Amino acid sequence: MNGKNGMNAASVLKLMAARNQFNQNHPKFGAFLKAVFSGKIEEGTVIELSVTRPGTDPITTNIKVQQSDLELLEDLKELMK
In total, how many domains does the chain have? 2
Residue 7 has, within 13 A of its CA and on its CB side, a CA count of 8
**Co-location of 4 and 30 in the same domain:** yes
Higher-scoring residue by pLDDT: 7, 68: 68
49 and 33 inside one domain: no
Q: Which domain holds residue 76?
A: 39-81
Q: Are residues 81 and 43 in the same domain?
A: yes
Residues 32, 60: one domain?
no
What is residue 6's predicted lDDT score, i.e. its pLDDT?
65
Distance of CA 33 to the CA centre of its chain: 7
Residues 43 and 81 occupy one common structural domain: yes
pLDDT confidence tier of residue 38, bands split at 50, 70 and 90:
confident
Q: Which residues contact 65 (CB under 8 A, 6 or more apart)?
A: 41, 42, 43, 44, 45, 46, 47, 73
Q: CB neighbours of 80 closer than 8 A, spacing ≥ 6? A: 33, 34, 37
* Sign of CA pseudo-dihedral 35, 37, 43, 45: positive
Give 34's pLDDT tier (boundaries 50, 70, 90): confident
